[in-house]
Amino acid sequence: MRIYRAGVASLNQTPLDFEGNEARVADAVSRAKREGLDLLLLPELALSGHSLGDFSRAEWVHDRLIASLGRIAEKSRDLSLVLGMPFLLEGMVYSAAAVLHDGELLGLATKGGYDRYAGLHEAKHFDLFPRQGELLVDLLGASVPIGRSRFSLGSLRAEVAIGDALESFERLDGPSDLLLNPAARPFRLGTHGATLERAAELSLIRNAPLLSANLLGNEAGRNIFDGASFIAADGELLTSTPRLSMNQISLRSAALRLTDTIGTRSRRERASTPPPLQYEEHREELLTRAMAVGLFDYLRKSRANGYVLSLSGGADSAACAALIGLMIRLGVKELGTSGFKKRLAHIASLEDASNAEELCAKLLLTAYQSTENSSETTRSAARALAEEIGATHLELDIQPMVDAYRAFGEQAIGRALDFENDDLALQNLQARVRSPGAWLLANLRGAIVITTSNRSELSVGYLTMDGDTSGGLAPIASIDKAYLREYLVWLEKEGPKGIGPLKSLEKVNVQEPTAELRPLEAQQRDEDDLMPYPLLDRLEELLVHRLVAPETALRVVREEFSELEGIENYVDRFLRSFSTNQWKRARIAPSFILSDRIVADIDFPILNGGLRLASDG
């Protein structure tokens, strides 16, 4: 009987950052050795980052990663190390895990299936290793197996399963002392609790501790990995890393009491450090923290100097402004002001900022760009929110530019334009005139323009290309409008733990959503232009994600929205709008993927025959 100290680490890596990725792996190895660990498990593709895209097949990329592996092997003496990396073999690319013991490479485990998370595209960029068995490859001066899943770490037998593959542990032949799961699980609302429960259950079923290490952060622009790494044994969770941390490395360990006989059951000893405080599975809390990590990593990895946002005073732009403000407050709370600035050291203007509000003034510029159709209600809402979070705020009158473009068009076609005959063109004109000013301000600051499109309106094309869609990042494009409005009420009334509410959002939440592109006397409402948002979101779920027949969708919503008149017209409107607007969805700026219900990444023909209800004949 002996004590075996095992650790898991979450890493925030960046594709093609060879030196940085290697340094973070080496840092985690050094920490593990300082803590006296026997084993360190690192995430899937930890050495490279997950999203290499087509460059995963580049030989020079592979050569650099092998060189990094050799240097890491030298630093891993007196330690067992499992490290995820891609491996190129005869034109095929495998998601693999290098298994090392006392600095010696024992072999490469390979992934047995594709994870089906939206936006990962694993089947496009990785191959599956043949099921026939392992091969021998020359690597780091030795002939080692690839395709093996079971390895001897000294006197212990370890089983390695890569990715979203916990279930494979239940199907093992024979006993194992350790179950090791290098993973790359992107953040998804409502899934983490089930993962922990299943891992704990499997540790009991297999009579062996189960260790899982996950990537962390907004790795490559779209998917946000939650960094949830953990150790379970005897049906219980022993320890776990914090979810959605802004730190680049998080390591946790536990002491396990094991016998020296392979296959005997492990017995848990108390975790070496108490598990970190875990935020409750609260939808709004988690969404805020995922967005904060996404925005923070996007800013530092793009090396931009901040964000520019056309703040209209409506729900969508208010949500974007609030989330950027909360990113800064949560970052300062976790990292401290100096730590936050150090992570954004490329932004020289932050040097004299001493708190979150001063940081926000440097990192976020908002502009209320009014026309004759703008109201004092939205102007006041935009100003109040910008003041509360500390953004630098401008109020700009763009009506002269709208008038100039309108006169230009009237001269070109030889007649006057009016909302009765030219409604869509005049609405889009106002939205597009706002875009050049936002880009000008962004160029002057070296910043990213935020586009405010939400998922509901993106699904049916209710947005203006090169207007409200104009920008370099679309943070809320995977969030539906009905939920977004609920979220803003939560931010106004409660807000994230340790931060509190943003009370200025009351001015936003009392409004009915409106584009304010028609004359004020028209009392424009988004739901009048479209349909009730809950109905729109339900149709998107049924028709786009569940792929049910239009007639089936009509029957379902007739029952669920029986109080609404004209249901068939709404369904027909959705079908026509969705079918004709794939070109808009294909052009949207990069967006964060927070669930598998996304439309920005959907594969649908731009030219198509059109979805429609079947005729009675």
**265 and 177 together in one domain:** yes
Residue 223 CB partners (closer than 8 Å, separation 6+)? 50, 51, 117, 119, 120, 186, 187, 592, 593
pLDDT recorded at residue 526: 64
Statement: residue 356 has pLDDT above 80: yes
The pLDDT confidence band at residue 616, using thresholds 50, 70 and 90, is: low
Alpha-carbon torsion, ordered 182, 185, 186, 191, to 10 deg: -150
Last residue of a domain, one of 494, 526, 558: 526
Give yes or no for residue 268 having a pLDDT over 70.
Answer: no
Q: Phi first, then psi: what are they for 496, rounded to 5°? A: -65, 150
Q: Do 434 and 395 meet the contact criterion of CB atoms below 8 Å apart?
A: no
Task: Grade residue 258 by pLDDT with cuts at 50, 70 and 90.
Answer: confident
- Our separate counts of H helices and E strands in the chain read 18, 21
pLDDT value at 615 more than 60? yes
> Which of 462, 493, 526 is at the close of a domain?
526
Same domain as 287, residue 220:
no
So what's the pLDDT on residue 119? 84
Average pLDDT, integer, range 384-410: 97
Is residue 107 within 8 A of residue 173, CB to CB? The reply is no
Question: How many domains, in total, are found in the chain?
Answer: 2
pLDDT computed for residue 1 by the predictor: 60
Looking at residues 383-396, what average pLDDT do you find? 98
In this predicted structure, the answer to whether residue 332 has a pLDDT above a threshold of 50 is: yes
**Domain boundary residue among 498, 526, 554?**
526
Pair 153, 192 in one domain: yes
Pairwise CA distance, residues 383 & 391, whole Å: 10
Read off the pLDDT of residues 66-108 as tens digits, 9 standing for 90 and up: 999 999 999 999 999 999 999 999 999 999 999 999 999 999 9
* Contact present, 553 and 542 (Cβ < 8 Å): yes
- Min mean pLDDT across 34-38, 129-133, 532-536 is at 129-133
- Which burial class, exposed, middle or buried, applies to 465 when counting CB atoms under 10 A from its CB (0-12, 13-18, 19+)? middle
Q: Is the pLDDT of residue 273 over 50?
A: no
pLDDT score recorded for residue 263 = 43
Position 269 pLDDT exceeds 90? no
Q: Each residue of 147-187: pLDDT tens digit?
A: 999 999 999 999 999 999 898 998 888 899 999 999 999 99
Domain that holds residue 47: 2-271
- Distance CA(70)–CA(75), nearest Å, equals 9
pLDDT of residue 547: 96
- Which residue, chain included where needed, has tokens 């926000």? 360
Same domain, 360 and 335: yes
**Domain membership flag for residue 278:** no
CA-CA distance, 5 to 257, in Å (whole number)? Answer: 9
Q: Residue 524 has what pLDDT? A: 61
Cα distance from N-terminal residue to C-terminal residue, the chain: 78
Question: Is the residue at 591 inside a domain?
Answer: no
Q: Which residue has the tokens 């109905």?
A: 535
DSSP 186: B
292 and 264 assigned to the same domain: no
Question: Torsion over CA of 192, 193, 198 and 203, rounded to 10 degrees?
Answer: 100
Buried b (16+ CB within 10 A) or exposed e, 13-38: bbbbebeebbebbbebbebbeeeebb
Exposure class string for 544-556: b at 16+ Cβ within 10 A, else e: beeeeebeebbeb
Determine what percent of the chain is predicted with pLDDT higher than 90.
Answer: 84
Instruction: Find the mean pLDDT for residues 61-68.
Output: 98
Q: What is the dihedral of CA 321, 325, 327, 329, to 10 degrees?
A: -170
Let me know whether 266 and 313 are in one domain: no
Query: Rounded to the nearest 10 degrees, how much is the dihedral formed by the CA atoms of 111, 116, 119, 120?
Result: 0
Q: What is the mean pLDDT of the chain?
A: 92
Rounded distance between C-alpha atoms, residue 173 and residue 189, angstroms: 34
pLDDT value for 530: 84
In a domain, 586, yes or no: no
Supply the pLDDT for residue 45. Answer: 98
Assess whether 230 and 105 both reside in one domain: yes
260 and 289 share one domain:
no
Residue whose tokens read 């700026």? 589
Q: How far apart are CA 12 and CA 101, in angstroms?
A: 24
CB-side neighbour CA atoms (13 Å) of 76? 30
Interatomic CA distance for residues 439 and 310, integer angstroms:
10
- The verdict on 132 and 215 lying in the same domain is yes
Tell whether the model's pLDDT for residue 446 goes beyond 90: yes
How far apart (Å, rounded) are the C-alpha atoms in residues 4 and 612?
A: 63
Same domain, 214 and 304: no
Same domain, residue pair 340 and 245: no
Work out the pLDDT band at 130, boundaries 50, 70, 90.
confident
pLDDT band (50, 70, 90) for residue 213: very high
At residue 243, φ and ψ (nearest 5 deg) are -80, 145
Lowest mean pLDDT among 23-32, 238-247, 522-531: 522-531
Contact 353, 337 (CB under 8 A): yes
DSSP per-residue letters across 291-341: HHHHHHHHHHHHT---EEEE--SSHHHHHHHHHHHHHHHHHHHHHHHHHHH
To the nearest 5 percent, what fractions of the chain are helix, strand and coil?
40, 20, 40
- Chain centroid, CA 239 distance in Å: 24
Query: What is the token pair recorded at 234?
Result: 């005897």
Over range 44-63, report the average pLDDT: 96
Residue 76: which of 106, 114, 113, 50 has the closest Cα? 106
What CATH number should be reported for the domain holding residue 385?
Answer: 3.40.50.620
Half-sphere exposure of 64 (CA within 13 A, CB side): 16
Name the maximum alpha-carbon separation found in the chain: 93
* CA pair distance 583, 461, nearest whole angstrom: 9
Give pLDDT, residue 518: 62
**Which pTM value belongs to this model?**
0.93
- 511-554, pLDDT tens digit by residue? 887 666 667 666 667 677 889 999 999 999 999 999 999 999 99
| pLDDT of residue 442 exceeding 60 | yes
Residue 250 lies in a domain: yes
Q: 545-589 pLDDT, tens per residue?
A: 999 999 999 999 999 999 999 999 999 999 999 999 999 999 999
The answer to whether residue 38 is domain-embedded is: yes
| 503 three-state secondary structure | helix
Which pLDDT belongs to residue 15?
97
CB 208 within 8 A of CB 175: yes
Residue 38 is given by DSSP the state S
Contact 55, 16 (CB under 8 A): yes
Rg (CA), the chain: 27
pLDDT per position as a tens digit, 450-494: 999 999 999 999 999 999 899 999 999 999 999 999 999 999 999
Cβ neighbours of 329 (radius 10 Å): 24
Q: Quick check: 133 pLDDT over 80?
A: no
pLDDT at residue 602 above 70? yes
Q: Are both 172 and 289 inside the same structural domain?
A: no
pLDDT for res 450: 98
Strand partners, 138: 143
Please state at what angle helix 59-75 crosses helix 18-34, rounded to 10 degrees: 20
In a domain, 539, yes or no: no
What pLDDT, on a 0 to 100 scale, did the predictor assign at position 257?
A: 78
The domain that contains 73 carries what CATH number?
3.60.110.10
Q: What is the residue type of 558?
A: R
Range name among 319-328, 358-367, 509-518, 602-611 with the lowest pLDDT average: 509-518
Q: What is the torsion angle, in degrees rounded to the nearest 10, for the CA atoms of residue 36, residue 39, residue 43 and residue 44?
A: 150
* Residue 113 neighbours by CB distance under 10 Å: 15
DSSP 228: -
